Structure 1
Amino acid sequence: MNVRSPLIAPRDRATAVLLVLVALTFVALLVTVPSISDIFSVRGAAACAAVLAFIKARFVAMDFMELRGTTAQRFADTWLLVVGLISLVLILR
C-alpha cells in the first residue's frame, strides 16, 4: 500500500515553527530597543510585544503541546484570544 506523506513532515514542521519563534523573538526585541521604540509610544511598543507573545504562545500550544487538531484546540484558541484582548485593553488604556 502506497501511503502519501503529508506535505510537511512533523519533524520539519517543528523545525519551521522553531525558526518562526526565534524570528518573532528577535522582532519583539527590536521593538523594545530604544532607537526603534522611539517610533512607537511606550504603550504601542508594549502592545506590539504582547501581540507577538500571544502569537508565539499559540504556536507553542498548537505545535509543541500538540493541541492542533484536537478538541482542546478550540478552547486554547478562545482562551488565548480572550486573554490577549484583555491584555491589550489593559496595556492601551
Structure 2
Amino acid sequence: MTIYIGNLSFQASEDDLRDVFTEYGEVVRISLPVDRETGRKRGFAFVEMADESKEDLAISELDGAEWLGRELRVNKAKPRENSRNSNFSRNPLP
C-alpha cells in the first residue's frame, strides 16, 4: 500500500517527509513529483512503508494535521489510471 499526501508545502523535501513518517515505522520509498516543464514540486507526495498497520496509523494521525503551514490530506493512494488519454483507444476503428 502507498500513502498519498496532498496539500503539501512546496518547501517540503524527501528528507522532511522521511523524518515525519519514520516516527511511525520504516519508510521504504518516497516519491515527490515535480512538474516536467517548470521543475517545481507539485504539492503532493507518495510514501510507502514496510508495515501496512504502521501506514494506517500514520494516515489516521496525520490526516488533517498542520505541517509547514498547510493542512495535510493523507490517505491511501488510489491506483493510477492507465493514461491521461484513457478515453482514446489504442486500436483504430475499421
Tell me the TM-score normalized by structure 1: 0.27
Tell me which protein shows more strand as a share of its residues: 2
Q: Of the two structures, which has the highest relative contact order with CA contacts closer than 8 Å and spacing of 6 or more?
A: 2
Tell me the TM-score normalized by structure 2: 0.27
Structure label with greater radius of gyration: 1
